[in-house]
């Protein structure tokens, strides 16, 4: 008798014709999908996971970023962050940026190279330690940083509108507290 996955086909045929009392068949996929397609799914199993809640909140935040900064200013989120950090901390080292952004040094080097090629940042040899290079915004980089920073102050207004000023302060305070615990 031919076998399939170690069982005789006759055994498999008998199992497929078993009554519901002996074998509980699952509802058909189309029937299940039709019954629940419009119902929201229960997410309570994930309510205790901070990362899940943060990732859900990040979706409209990224959408706002792309609308107000990303597309109009041709900046990726990491480029925006780096540009502002350098503009507000001229002369910062690549090592300081790597530590602040929790990025490996080679990735920071690639990022700074790309932003240098775009004309936004420049490396300058340190006057005090000739082995180190400090990163500065170019004139174009400073202008873009000012525009991007101004846009960032209002880009999430709709997203934060349901929160009172006190709730916004508390939200940012709690997120800073959690982020301050990271171990690089």
Looking at the domain 45-179, which fold is it? Answer: Arc Repressor Mutant, subunit A (1.10.10)
103-118 per-position pLDDT tens digit: 999 999 999 999 999 9
Q: Could you tell me the two tokens for 63?
A: 């959408």
153-173 per-position pLDDT tens digit: 999 999 999 999 999 999 999
- Mean pLDDT taken over the chain: 86
User: Considering only CA atoms, which of 52, 78, 90, 71 is closest in space to residue 155?
Assistant: 71
Q: Dihedral of CA 87/100/71/121: which sign?
A: positive
DSSP secondary structure of 18-77: --TTT--PPPPHHHHHHHHTTSPPP-GGGTT-HHHHHHHHHHHHHHHHIIIIIHHHT--H
Spell out the domain ranges in the chain.
45-179
Neighbour-count burial of 87, counting CB atoms closer than 10 A to its CB (0-12 exposed, 13-18 middle, 19+ buried): buried
pTM given for the model? 0.75
Question: 128: pLDDT confidence band, cut at 50, 70 and 90?
Answer: confident
């Amino acid at each position: 008798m031919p076998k399939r996955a170690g069982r005789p086909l006759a055994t498999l045929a008998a199992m497929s014709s078993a009554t519901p009392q002996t074998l509980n068949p699952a509802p058909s996929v189309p029937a299940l999908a039709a019954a629940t397609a419009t119902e929201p799914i229960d997410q309570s199993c994930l309510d205790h996971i901070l990362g899940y809640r943060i990732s859900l909140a990040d979706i409209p935040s990224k959408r706002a970023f792309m609308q107000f900064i990303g597309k109009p200013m041709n900046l990726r989120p990491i480029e925006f962050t780096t540009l502002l950090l350098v503009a507000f901390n001229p002369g910062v080292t690549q090592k300081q940026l790597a530590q602040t952004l929790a990025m490996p040094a080679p990735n920071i080097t690639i990022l700074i190279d790309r932003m240098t090629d775009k004309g936004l940042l420049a490396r300058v040899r340190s006057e005090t330690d000739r082995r180190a290079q400090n990163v500065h915004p170019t004139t174009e980089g400073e202008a873009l940083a000012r525009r991007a920073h101004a846009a960032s102050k209002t880009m999430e207004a709709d997203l934060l509108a349901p929160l009172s000023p006190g709730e916004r302060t508390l939200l940012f305070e709690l997120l800073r507290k959690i982020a301050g615990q990271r171990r690089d």
